[in-house]
Amino acid sequence: AAPPPSAPGEPAPPPQPQPLQYSLLLQHLVGDKRQPRVWDPATLGGIPCPPKSEEQKMVERVMESCPFKAALACVGGFVLGGAFGIFTAGIDTNVGFDPKDPYRTPTAKEVLKDMGQRGISYAKNFAIVGAMFSCTECMVESYRGKSDWKNSVISGCITGGAIGFRAGLKAGVIGCGGFAAFSAAVDYYLR
């Protein structure tokens, strides 16, 4: 219905709002007039995060670098290997054993000395393997530009092969396959 004409000199009545058409609404919601929304976690109820400072960005770059990851794996491997070496020496019945006198009971000092030697030996080996694996995985990931299970399998093969090649070609191939399979299994269960 059209509004009644106004008399001359009277102000014009306010325009009546047009009824909302469903097709116009759809064009703005899902059609070509839809405006893309910028994702903002604060609008979804998340915790708003201030922008990162240059110092924070620098610390993140250092912590994501290959040398830092290798050093961290080296330290972690040293601690884990030392604990594993001390544990295995603690349950080994031959610690402090003297082949010249098999009936002699070893002293606490001899047992602790053997435990320390085995702990240091395991710690060094675990540290070297951890650093090699972490460094090669980081380099493979940087080269491929992807972070998936293939990185750990490739770096496991490289690490196992490098360790095994000291004993020959056959041992290197077996080390490559074994370490790659172990890396794949660990990566499968951790992801």
- DSSP for 70-82 reads HHHHHHHHHHHHH
Token match 């031959």: residue? 94
Rounded Cα–Cα distance for residues 151 and 145 (Å):
10
Name the nearest CA neighbour of 141 among 74, 58, 133. Answer: 133
pLDDT of 174 above 70: yes
Rounded Cα–Cα distance for residues 25 and 17 (Å):
15
Token match 């116009």: residue? 24
Residues 49-105 pLDDT 10s: 778 889 999 999 999 899 999 999 999 999 999 999 999 888 887 777 777 887 878
Q: What is the pLDDT of residue 3?
A: 58
Q: What is the pLDDT of residue 19?
A: 64
pLDDT of 110 above 80: yes
Q: What is the pLDDT of residue 147?
A: 86
- Positive or negative, the CA dihedral 115, 118, 120, 126 is negative
Residues 135-144 pLDDT 10s: 999 999 989 8
Q: The pTM is what?
A: 0.66
